Amino acid sequence: MGQKLTPGDSRSNLYNPQLGMTLIVKTVTRWVKGFIFLFGVYIVLYGHLTPGGGFAGGVIIAGAFILLTLAFGKEAALERMSKTVASEFDSLGALMFLMLAWLGLYFGGPFFVNFIQRNLPGKRFHLFSAGNIPLCNIAIGIKVGTSLFMVFIILSVLRVVVKKGERRMVQMKRRGE
Amino acid sequence: MIYALCLVLFMVGLYGVVTKKNTVKIVIGIIIMEYAVNLFLVLLGYRKDGVAPIIDEGTSVLKFSQLAVDPLPQALVLTAIVIGLGVIALMVAICIRLYERYGTFDITEMRRLKG
Amino acid sequence: MNVIPLFVAIPLAAAFFIPMVSQKFRWVPDLLGNLTAFALLVMAVSVIGKKDVYIMGGWAPPIGINLVLDGLSVLMLITISLVGFTATLFSIRYMEQYTSKLRYYSLFLLMMGGMNGVALSGDMFNIFVFLEIASVASYALVGFGCEHEELEASFKYLVLGSVASTLILLGVAVIYGSLGSLNMAHVSRLIVEQGMNKALYFSLTLLVMGFSLKAALVPFHAWLPDAHPSAPAPISAMLSGVLIKVLGVYALLRISFNVFGMSPLLANILIWLGTISMVVGGLLALGQWDYKRLLAYSSISQVGYVVLAVGIGGAVVSRGDSMTVAGLAIGGGLFHLINHAAFKSLLFLSSGAIVYSTGTRDLRKMGGLKDRMPLTSGAANIGAFSISGIPPFNGFWSKLVIIIAAVQARYYWLALTAVLISVITLAYYLKLQRHAFFGPASENNRDVREVPLSMCIPMVLLAVLCVGMGLLLLPGPRAEILQPAVDALTMGMKYATVILGR
């Protein structure tokens, strides 16, 4: 019964020793990945009150995906976020950040003015107290998380195809020239 | 004194960039240089027995300004690290591509361009 | 609504918007890239003659970040957007040879945004950030073809560029450590009040080294002859035409004239750097047989002219001699800078057209292209005449002004050297013309045809500019464009007064 498992699916992958790392790593990753992601989101959202912020949180979010890639192979990670989706999110994050800056102009201040804080100051040291800085953090978090993931995936796709024998051939050919 | 040590670290990186023949080692040299500068920037804001520059409900602004370390260099370092990350990712990608094309990491064997 | 932040925001927004929409529509990158470049050109023309300080986010200087628009920035913005517009127009057809146009336009616009940011920024650290944005985009664009030569050149450029950026960052850090401020106006005010100390001299050395590396002045020029020829032709035009000037020369001028203040020592360093690059670049260009490599060496030589002229102006300013001579020298340098942007990008675009048609960059394999490609060869000949200083064209006027200024400032040997190098320039461009356009047609150029219209238009546009830009020396246009830029430099320390308002 049950649906057919494709080779890229992490459920089939879990007990397949050919793909990814050992069973221990895979099991731990399955438990931990959600928490890492959640922790990243927390760091992004509370960036204006505690240490952290968009970049640090984004790196942690990307870390969750990179852990998946390492444990299950890149198919499992790409199944959750494909390259095109990641690229769209990458641009989206940057555009969101720019839009926030433009909205400052729209609300009659200079570029990058904190227009929410101007109108709704909020209570100090509470979650909604810094105007649009948390929104900026979210934008940066999306941007950094997806682009770091992209960098990792692209670098692992670029894996060198030259094998040892070919390399020797290349060197011999060069010496012959 | 400790600033001079940063400069020494910077020179170590520069030495690596200038003398090594392996592309990956050159990249590592550049990373060392960047981190030496980052370390220097963080040290500029350091103050003995200072606290982290995060204000919370208990502390007054005056007391905070007397105790905390300078937060601006930390912001600068964060920016510099992000930029460094981008540059290094590009460098590593180009190193891998070069290895694909030439089958070696040795820059003395990459001699298509003369001069 | 104020237009200044849009110079940075529009190219960045377009750069991030292009990859989002062009997965489905293939014509979007071309359209958006050209539209953005055209919008930037219109905006740059609209700010001619204006002066403004824009405060970001409502935090006044010296605490906040500010953008400064003065005469020199306006000059730079016009140059960037003009060359950028012609290069994007040229790339519509030229970049068909490569895959992934959307990445190309994305990186191109990032580079333009970074350069605009450098030209506008009033903050040391922001100059570093924008410089890195522009540099990273240009590293990727040099290696865009992903072939042996491109990757090798890109790696060389990357390593030297990163060393330069690290030096600049260290210099900025030393300034912060010693003065506690990064706002350029505030720093210059503090330097006037406290005087120079050893740490500031160290920082000045680091900054001059870093920016000279970016400008490829001669002891630091090793990357340029590889990187500029290896890039796709529109990118070569951008790199040689504006990138080395904005990241290198402009930043060097800003730092030396407006932040640290001109001193005789600094002026001498600039004069020496300029003279050496002028001579060495010119002599090395003589022996080249690769079309684009010859142009790259000639870029080093011509940037040497700019730095030499500005150095002479700085020496006169720091001696306290007559301001008219200083203004003449600096004006000549800046005029040569924009002229060089016009004719060097024209020549690089023509090299791209020739590569597009004949598939070779080797001068020995060309010949007789005059009849086959009349428009391209006509434009390239105009470019070659103006760069070597033949009278009616713009290069003659700027070189003339530089030489007159050198004589008036009593640097007779430098004036003589500049004349001699001008003759050498003429020599190697005659060689280029003779081998590429005149002479017998070679075997493999039998069925070469003229490039498509969208590649001809930018070349013709730049050729018309090369003929007409001599008019900038007339009193009217000069007071609008050149004179504010010269004033921004000669007034030196008044820069701080304008921004801080006291």
Q: What is the pLDDT of residues C320-357, one digit of tens each?
A: 777 888 889 999 999 999 999 999 999 999 999 988 88
Among chain A residues, CA nearest to C57: A113
Domain count, chain C: 1
Contacts of C348 (CB under 8 A, 6+ apart): C228, C233, C236, C237, C240, C241, C292, C295
Two tokens, residue C307: 């730095």
Average pLDDT estimate for B86-98 = 90
Does residue A88 sit at the C interface (CB-CB below 8 Å)?
yes
Question: Which residue type does C447 have?
Answer: D
Q: Which of A93-97, A123-127, B87-91, C263-267 has the lowest mean pLDDT?
A: A123-127
Please state, in angstroms and rounded to a whole number, the distance separating the CA atoms of residues C350 and C370.
12
Is C215 within a domain?
Answer: yes
Residue A176: the pLDDT is 44
Does residue B83 sit at the A interface (CB-CB below 8 Å)?
no
Other residues' Cβ atoms within 10 Å of the Cβ of residue C157:
25
Please state, in angstroms and rounded to a whole number, the distance separating the CA atoms of residues C39 and C461.
17
Residue C323: the pLDDT is 82
Is C1 within a domain?
Answer: no
**Look-up of token digits 């081998």:** C435
Two tokens, residue C231: 């890039």
Contact A160 B100 (CB under 8 A): yes
Closest CA to C21 of C33, C38, C4, C7: C33
Is A45 within a domain?
Answer: yes
Among chain A residues, CA nearest to B55: A49
Please state, in angstroms and rounded to a whole number, the distance separating the CA atoms of residues B77 and B40.
9
Average pLDDT estimate for C42-65 = 83
Contacts of A160 in chain B (CB under 8 A): 96, 99-100
Residue A11: the pLDDT is 52
Residue A17: the pLDDT is 59
Domain count, chain B: 1
Q: Which domain holds residue B34?
A: 2-45+65-109
Question: Which of A91, A98, A110 has the CB atom closest to C9's CB atom?
Answer: A98
Mutate to test the interface with B, among A153, A170, A172, A173 (most CBs of B within 10 A): A170
pLDDT tens digits for range C141-180: 998 888 888 888 999 999 999 999 999 999 999 999 898 8
Mean pLDDT value across chain A: 76
Q: Is B9 helix (H, G, I), strand (E, B) or coil?
A: helix
Is A3 within a domain?
Answer: no
pLDDT tens digits for range C362-421: 888 777 777 778 888 889 999 999 998 888 888 899 999 999 999 999 899 999 999 999
Q: Which of B68-72, C257-261, C306-310, C364-368 has the lowest mean pLDDT?
A: C364-368
Indicate if the pLDDT at residue C290 is higher than 60.
yes
Contacts of B82 in chain A (CB under 8 A): 55, 144
Question: Which of B37, B90, B95 has the CB atom closest to C166's CB atom?
Answer: B37
Question: Which of C149, C173, C284 has the CB atom closest to B113's CB atom?
Answer: C149
Q: Is C53 helix (H, G, I), strand (E, B) or coil?
A: strand
ipTM score for this prediction:
0.93
Two tokens, residue B33: 């240089």
Indicate if the pLDDT at residue A123 is higher than 50.
yes
Given CA atoms C24, C25, C26, C31 in this order, what sign does their dihedral have? Answer: negative
Measured N-to-C along each axis, helices C394-408 and C453-468 cross at an angle, to the nearest 10 degrees, of 30
Domain count, chain A: 1
Question: Which of C1, C19, C55 has the CB atom closest to A91's CB atom?
Answer: C19
Is B13 within a domain?
Answer: yes
Q: Which domain holds residue A64?
A: 10-176
Does residue A41 sit at the C interface (CB-CB below 8 Å)?
no
Residue A158: the pLDDT is 66
- Kindly state the percentage of chain C with pLDDT values over 90: 47
Does residue C54 sit at the B interface (CB-CB below 8 Å)?
no
Is A146 within a domain?
Answer: yes
Residue C80: the pLDDT is 94
pLDDT tens digits for range C208-255: 999 999 999 988 888 898 888 889 999 999 999 899 999 999 999 999
Q: Is B113 helix (H, G, I), strand (E, B) or coil?
A: coil
Mutate to test the interface with A, among B69, B85, B88 (most CBs of A within 10 A): B85
Contact B96 A160 (CB under 8 A): yes
Is C180 within a domain?
Answer: yes
Contact A102 C9 (CB under 8 A): yes
Two tokens, residue C454: 């969208």
Secondary structure element (H or E) that encloses residue C120, with its range: helix C101-120
Provide the β-strand partners of residue C123. C183
Please state, in angstroms and rounded to a whole number, the distance separating the CA atoms of residues C113 and C1.
20
Please state, in angstroms and rounded to a whole number, the distance separating the CA atoms of residues C346 and A156.
40
Indicate if the pLDDT at residue A5 is higher than 50.
no
Is C355 within a domain?
Answer: yes
Contact C57 A94 (CB under 8 A): no
Total length of chain A: 177
Contact assessment for residue B69 and residue B46, using Cβ atoms and an 8 Å cutoff: yes
Does residue B93 sit at the A interface (CB-CB below 8 Å)?
yes
Q: Please, is A66 exposed, middle or buried when counting C-beta atoms within 10 Å of its C-beta (0-12, 13-18, 19+)?
A: buried
Give me the CATH number covering residue B9. 1.10.287.3510
Q: What is the DSSP letter of C55?
A: E
Please state, in angstroms and rounded to a whole number, the distance separating the CA atoms of residues C402 and B95.
44
Contact A124 B57 (CB under 8 A): yes
Compute the count of residue pairs across chains B and C with CB atoms less than 8 Å apart. Answer: 91
Max CA distance (Å), chain A: 76
Quick one: pLDDT band at residue B83, thresholds 50, 70, 90? very high
Closest CA to C180 of C166, C194, C168, C167: C194
Q: Is C133 helix (H, G, I), strand (E, B) or coil?
A: helix
Indicate if the pLDDT at residue C502 is higher than 70.
no
Quick one: pLDDT band at residue B29, thresholds 50, 70, 90? very high
Indicate if the pLDDT at residue A160 is higher than 60.
no
Does residue C227 sit at the B interface (CB-CB below 8 Å)?
no
Is C374 within a domain?
Answer: yes
Contact assessment for residue C235 and residue C103, using Cβ atoms and an 8 Å cutoff: no
Residue bearing the bigger pLDDT, B77 or A87 = B77
Please measure the distance between the N-terminal and C-terminal CA atoms of chain C and give it in whole angstroms.
Answer: 26
Contact A51 B100 (CB under 8 A): no
Please state, in angstroms and rounded to a whole number, the distance separating the CA atoms of residues C183 and C496.
10
Among chain C residues, CA nearest to A108: C1
Residue A112: the pLDDT is 78
CA C360 to chain centre: 26
Mutate to test the interface with B, among A158, A163, A173 (most CBs of B within 10 A): A158
Total length of chain C: 502
Residue C269: the pLDDT is 92
CA distance A4 to chain B (A): 37
Please state, in angstroms and rounded to a whole number, the distance separating the CA atoms of residues C160 and C223.
7
Please state, in angstroms and rounded to a whole number, the distance separating the CA atoms of residues A62 and A140.
12
Contact C13 A111 (CB under 8 A): no
CA distance B49 to chain C (A): 19
Total length of chain B: 115
pLDDT tens digits for range C91-150: 988 888 887 788 899 999 999 999 999 999 888 999 999 999 999 999 999 988 888 888
Contacts of A150 in chain B (CB under 8 A): none
Nearest 5°: the CA angle C111, C115, C119 is: 170
Question: Which residue type does C12 have?
Answer: L
Two tokens, residue B8: 């020494």
Quick one: pLDDT band at residue A1, thresholds 50, 70, 90? very low
Contact A105 C58 (CB under 8 A): no
User: Dihedral, CA atoms, C18, C130, A48, B34, nearest 10 degrees?
Assistant: 120
Please state, in angstroms and rounded to a whole number, the distance separating the CA atoms of residues C11 and A94.
12
Residue A16: the pLDDT is 60
**Look-up of token digits 């870390």:** A63
Compute the count of residue pairs across chains A and C with CB atoms less than 8 Å apart. Answer: 46
Indicate if the pLDDT at residue A167 is higher than 80.
no
Indicate if the pLDDT at residue A58 is higher than 50.
yes
* Ordered DSSP codes for chain A: --PPPPTT-HHHHHT-TTSSS-HHHHHHHHHHHHHHHHHHHHHHHTTTTSS--HHHHHHHHHHHHHHHHHHH-HHHHHHHS-HHHHHHHHHHHHHHHHHHHHHHHHTTS-TT--HHHHH----TTSGGGSTTHHHHHHHHHHHHHHHHHHHHHHHHHT-----HHHHHHHHHHHHH-
Q: Which domain holds residue C485?
A: 6-500
Task: Provide the total of helices (H) and of strands (E) in chain A, helices listed first.
Answer: 8, 0
Indicate if the pLDDT at residue A163 is higher than 50.
no
Q: Is the peptide bond before C62 cis (omega within 30 degrees of 0)?
A: yes
Measured N-to-C along each axis, helices C453-468 and C374-387 cross at an angle, to the nearest 10 degrees, of 30
Please state, in angstroms and rounded to a whole number, the distance separating the CA atoms of residues C399 and C248.
21
